[in-house]
DNA sequence: TAGCTGATTGACT
DNA sequence: GTCAATCAGCTAA
């Protein structure tokens, strides 16, 4: 099964966030949290940079995120937002080079019934994973996954199946109040699973 | 210690 | 289109 291919290597993440964000499109996020296999194709990401990026948690949440942001890439950074939702990021860059990529939307490919149960929706619903809080809930991701190694373990990212046969859209990031104008959001053009058209 | 905010979502007008 | 839910961590005092 394609899901069993080896995860992306550490080196994949040891590059600037905006490069990793674009390259993650089409890759597969695989979760075995809670003994259930759920997986999806990444169709939307956003890059967050270091302290110079006013929207990045490296700048506005230095205490909570510093150790992870300044650590080595390839680890998960999970935070809770608005007291009730979780967002999943992949830390990028070498140690001392802060940056991360927010995974904003997935196209569900495995474990749809489990996702549907967790989300309280039908398995055919397009809304299973089409938002950062939604995909975290569908894959069972909580603060327990904060700091997890994305190259091994219960939460990994595997390469895309073939070549990049899709067009990449580039635009401004969603939902933030600072550094709004930066073109750091990437998505697969034409996918019906992106969080916003 | 009190008050405020937010990389969201879902329900409602 | 508007708005409430809900809370850790920040800021002001």
CA separation, residue A51 to residues A21, A56, A61, A82, A85 (Å): 18, 7, 10, 22, 24
Residue A89 within any structural domain of the chain? yes
Predicted local confidence at residue A165, as pLDDT? 87
In angstroms, how far is B7 C1' from A13 CA? 20
CATH number for the domain including A156?
Answer: 3.10.300.10
| b/e map A3-38, b = 16+ CB within 10 Å | eeeebbebebbbbebbebbbbbbbbbbbbbbeebeb
Predicted local confidence at residue A62, as pLDDT? 64
- Decide: CB of A81 under 7 A of nucleic strand B: yes
DSSP 8-state code for residue A165: -
Q: CA A16: distance to chain centroid?
A: 15
Residue A193 within any structural domain of the chain? no
Predicted local confidence at residue A197, as pLDDT? 60
Residue A86 within any structural domain of the chain? yes
| pLDDT tens series, chain A, 197 aa | 555 689 999 999 999 999 999 999 999 999 999 989 999 999 999 999 998 999 999 888 767 678 899 999 999 999 999 999 999 999 999 999 999 999 999 999 999 999 999 999 999 999 999 999 999 999 999 999 999 999 999 999 999 987 778 999 999 999 998 999 999 999 999 999 999 76
* Strand C interface, A 56-95, C-beta < 7 A: 61-64, 80, 82-84
* CA dist., res. A108 & res. A162, Å (int): 18
- Decide: CB of A132 under 7 A of nucleic strand B: yes
Predicted local confidence at residue A66, as pLDDT? 80
Residue A4 within any structural domain of the chain? no
The total domain count for chain A is: 1
Residue A3 within any structural domain of the chain? no
Q: What is the pLDDT of residues A90-145, one digit of tens each?
A: 999 999 999 999 999 999 999 999 999 999 999 999 999 999 999 999 999 999 99
- Decide: CB of A123 under 7 A of nucleic strand B: no
> Smallest CA–C1' separation from A57: which nucleotide?
B7
Predicted local confidence at residue A1, as pLDDT? 55
* Strand B interface, A 25-64, C-beta < 7 A: 46, 48, 55-57, 60
Residue A74 within any structural domain of the chain? yes
* Positive or negative torsion for Cα A186, A36, A156, A70: positive
**Helical spans, DSSP H, in chain A:** 10-13, 17-24, 57-60, 62-69, 112-119, 132-138
**Residue A76 near residue A33 (C-beta atoms within 8 A):** no
As ranges, strand B nucleotides with an atom below 7 A of a protein CB are 5-10
Which pTM does this prediction carry? 0.94
Residue A195 within any structural domain of the chain? no
- Decide: CB of A178 under 7 A of nucleic strand B: yes
Predicted local confidence at residue A64, as pLDDT? 67
CA separation, residue A135 to residues A19, A44, A53 (Å): 22, 11, 25
SS3 helix, strand, coil % of chain A, rounded to 5? 25, 25, 50
Residue A41 within any structural domain of the chain? yes
Q: Which domain holds residue A117?
A: 10-188
Q: What is the pLDDT of residues A111-121, one digit of tens each?
A: 999 999 999 99
Predicted local confidence at residue A138, as pLDDT? 97
Nearest-CA residue to the C1' of C5? A84
């Amino acid at each position: 099964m394609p899901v069993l291919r080896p995860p992306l290597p550490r080196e994949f993440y040891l590059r600037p966030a905006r490069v990793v964000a674009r390259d993650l499109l089409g890759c597969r996020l695989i979760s075995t949290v809670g003994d259930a296999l759920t997986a999806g194709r990444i169709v939307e990401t956003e890059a967050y940079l270091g302290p110079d990026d006013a929207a990045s948690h490296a700048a506005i949440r230095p205490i909570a995120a510093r150790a992870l942001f300044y650590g080595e890439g390839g680890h998960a950074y999970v935070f809770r937002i608005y007291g009730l939702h979780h967002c999943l990021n992949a830390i990028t860059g070498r140690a001392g080079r802060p940056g991360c990529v927010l995974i904003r939307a997935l196209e569900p490919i495995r474990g749809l019934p489990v996702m549907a149960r967790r989300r309280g929706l039908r398995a055919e619903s397009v809304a299973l994973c089409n938002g950062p809080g939604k995909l975290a809930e569908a894959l069972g991701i909580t603060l327990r996954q904060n700091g997890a190694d994305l190259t091994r373990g219960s939460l990994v990212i595997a390469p895309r199946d073939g070549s990049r046969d899709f067009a990449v859209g580039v635009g401004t990031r969603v939902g933030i109040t600072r550094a709004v104008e930066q073109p750091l959001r990437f998505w697969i053009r034409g996918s019906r699973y992106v969080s916003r058209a």
